[in-house]
Amino acid sequence: RKEVEQDPGPFNVPEGATVAFNCTYSNSASQSFFWYRQDCRKEPKLLMSVYSSGNEDGRFTAQLNRASQYISLLIRDSKLSDSATYLCVVNWGNQGGKLIFGQGTELSVKP
Amino acid sequence: DTEVTQTPKHLVMGMTNKKSLKCEQHMGHRAMYWYKQKAKKPPELMFVYSYEKLSINESVPSRFSPECPNSSLLNLHLHALQPEDSALYLCASSQPQGGAMMKGQFFGPGTRLTVL
């Protein structure tokens, strides 16, 4: 089993669509969870941290299920500017600062 | 504007050259990281510095030598690289992991390295 596994992409959706990304992780000792986005030939940018109670930031909602070791990201009313690769990222147990990245899911939002 | 800067943006070097990548952060963070990213792959951790001390080396070949002169600066010294080392090298910073939770890491724009 991969350490952090994401839906294979790419996702091609029309503007205004709702799109959901899923992610599972294998290390039950992981405590911190994030979604990053990465535009082509740019650095990853932190989109949002993911908290146990779930959290929302505008059109973006993140959920965490520790029992299932599952993380999700929901994007509502998708915009052309949401086109990017979305990376599920998990800290690796108690190894201070070590983050493990999923392979990423490419999203393409079309007019 | 990114608060983590990296120089140079692009670097082309031969296998016998010695060069250095530089990273600077202005966020007051005390943990800094080097990652390597190949095309269509996620970033792979190379080194972690916490409070200016090397805390993680992910079995990186010795032709890569990190250095943390102070809490704001991080260097990566390169010597006798191979063509397969061509990649985007990303620097990141964060607060050190204290307790169970950690804050996210913030990345610089990267140095795109080509080894001929």
Q: Summarize pLDDT for B50-59 with one digit per residue, the tens.
A: 999 999 999 9
C-alpha A110/C-alpha A17 separation (Å) is: 10
CB-based contact A88:A2 (threshold 8 Å): no
Lookup result for tokens 């792959």:
B41
Tokens encoding B91? 């620097």
Question: What's the mean pLDDT in B37-52?
Answer: 94
Q: Pairing between strand B10-13 and B111-115?
A: parallel
The residues pairing with B34 across neighbouring beta strands, listed in sequence order, are: B47, B91
Please list every residue in chain B whose beta carbon sits closer than 8 Å to the beta carbon of residue A46.
Answer: 104-106
Q: Cβ of B34 under 8 Å from any chain A Cβ?
A: no
Confidence at B2, pLDDT banded by 50, 70, 90 = low
Q: Cβ of A105 under 8 Å from any chain B Cβ?
A: no
Tokens encoding B70? 């102070």
C-alpha A24/C-alpha A79 separation (Å) is: 26
Q: How many CB pairs under 8 A join A and B?
A: 61
pLDDT in tens, A43-100: 999 999 998 888 999 999 999 999 999 999 999 999 999 999 999 999 876 666 788 9
